[in-house]
Amino acid sequence: MKRIIVGLALLLMTGSQAFAGGFSWQSADTSYLIDPDGRFMERFIEACEKGQDEKSRRFYRETCKVKVLAKSGDGTLYHLTREDDGSRVDMDGDENYQLFVMQSLPVTFEKETLSQIGDGEPIVNEWFYLTHAVQLKIQGDSIPFISSEGVIKLMRLNDGRDNKGLKPDDPNQVFESLASIAREARILQYLKHPHISRLIPETETFAVQERFDQNFDTYLGTAPDLAEVLDHCKHLADALSYCHSHGVVHGDFCTGHILMKTDGTAMLGDFGRAHILKTASAELQAAGEARFTYVNNRHHAPEARFPEGLAKEWLYIQLEPAADVWSFGHFLAVTLNHYPEYRRALARTRLVKPMLEHFAERKGLPAEVYKKSLPDEGASLGRYVATDLPLDVKAIADDGAIESNHPLIKLIIKCTDPNVTERPDMTEVCKALQGIRL
């Protein structure tokens, strides 16, 4: 248990406080935070008062409000609001969130230590602890806070060594984190597909993510039969196509965000960076229009990454379904990279070229000409994208190599075209996959 409550943790789920009444898990956007030092809210309010500069200081002083709604034991339920005054491009309306902050929390697990997922340790990545089969109770209250066989995500506290985890001294990051939690919960509530992770209502007031044992990365490490893997790819392509037909762009599709259930079913999860399109239903529109800055992850499409070397700019984007198509092509390449016979063909795709060449192709310029066009402030990023490869091909097999005209390789090439208009849509990708036999 010490691995979690020595620092700050945020329960990534949707729910309502058992003691406040009048809410259900379907309607309340509440996040849960363990704060042993009891200084999170103090530091957050202080950061709002100071601001990073005069503009942000004035914005948060005038638009950010923190109100105490209720108390229970050593926990306090806060209502956080951030009003949209029209001055920020990262907001599309007033924001309202509930945050339950606790200094301590009695926890009962199946075992003496944290419940395991599968046979291993609780999964820990750069942002979250993941555990399941946990029962949480409000201190001094007999009402179960959570009693779950599903998965609970606990956001890690930023330790100052990188940009991962919640930072109370950065109000903008806190609000973005709360928005991401609320958005993911609402999206999972309304998307109904056999290969999209679900929220399970454990009680009338709480819902958690359904249980899984590993992600796709771990699964690929077990050297599964490629025909079985291809079936998973077909299911996941259909899940992405379903998302797009309902006005949702996943925005972060990769092997690490695909969850494998105990029965071997692959499920698409992690919708925290999802974009809601204007074609979505009113219920999904209520999740809010995501405003995210550019990123620099290998699984993201060129248009989702820092373009033109402007890493220091607050450039917000609205991704289109084509960005998911690129990520799906990258996912196929990463998957096939586990099979030696495909690596020679993968090494001939554009995915082994530096990102600089992808950006240059989007501009219709030779790479060297494009590189010289980068502004001075983008020089460091220009050097980065000049060496960063979307795919590192592993050792190539000498025998039995697949040729570049193999339908899977051809599909990867089409999906990862730097030019958005040249990519197929996910319906076409699904049709292509269905016609492939190994």
Same structural domain, 224 and 200: no
Residue 200's DSSP bridge partners are 208
Do 47 and 6 reside in the same domain of the chain? yes
- Contacts (Cβ under 8 Å, ≥6 apart) of 117: 123, 130, 131, 132, 151, 211, 212, 213, 214
Claim to verify: residue 196 and residue 223 sit in the same structural domain: no
* pLDDT at residue 206, rounded to an integer: 58
121 and 260 assigned to the same domain: no
Question: Lowest mean pLDDT: which of 17-21, 198-202, 292-296, 348-352?
Answer: 17-21
CATH for 237:
1.10.510.10
Kindly indicate the confidence band of residue 227, based on its pLDDT and cuts at 50, 70 and 90.
very high
Lowest mean pLDDT, pick from 18-27, 96-105, 251-260, 380-389: 18-27
Of the given ranges (129-143, 175-189, 198-212), which has the lowest mean pLDDT?
129-143
The residue assigned the tokens 């620092």 is 7
Is 70 exceeded by the pLDDT of residue 284? yes
- 214 touches 256 (CB < 8 A): no
- Is-above-0.75 flag for pTM? yes
Q: Band of the pLDDT at 116, cuts 50, 70, 90?
A: very low
State residue 223's pLDDT score.
Answer: 93
Can you list the positions of beta strands (E) in 122-262? 123-124, 128-137, 144-155, 199-201, 206-209, 214-215, 248-249, 258-260
Last residue of a domain, one of 183, 209, 235: 209
Give 316-336 pLDDT, tens digit per residue: 678 899 999 999 999 999 999
- Listed ranges 125-134, 262-271, 272-281; the one with the highest mean pLDDT: 262-271
Q: State whether 193 and 222 are in the same domain.
A: no
> If you count DSSP H runs as helices and E runs as strands, how many of each does the chain have, helices first?
14, 19
- H/E stretch holding 218 reads helix 216-220
Query: 21-79 pLDDT, tens per residue?
Result: 333 434 446 777 767 778 888 988 998 888 777 877 888 888 888 988 877 666 788 88
Q: Specify the number of domains making up the chain.
A: 2
196 and 224 fall within a common domain: no
**203 shares a domain with 224:** no
For residue 348, give both structure tokens.
């001939």
Confidence at residue 69, expressed as pLDDT on a 0 to 100 scale: 81
Residue 148 domain boundaries = 2-209
Question: How far apart, in Å, are the Cα atoms of 83 and each of 31, 91, 93, 95, 253?
Answer: 19, 9, 7, 6, 31
Predicted pLDDT at 83 = 86
- What does the mean pLDDT of the chain come to? 76
Domain boundary among 152, 187, 209: 209
Is the same domain home to 204 and 240? Answer: no
Same domain assignment for residues 183 and 225: no
Alpha-carbon distance 360 to 368, whole Å? 8
Token reading at 9 = 């943790």
Cα separations in angstroms, 213 against 14, 89, 274, 378: 21, 39, 23, 42
Task: Count the alpha carbons within 13 Å of 264 in the hemisphere toward its beta carbon.
Answer: 7
Same domain for 225 and 322, yes or no, is yes
256: which 2 tokens?
């690490």
Residue 341 gets which letter from DSSP? G
Residues 191 and 262 in one domain: no
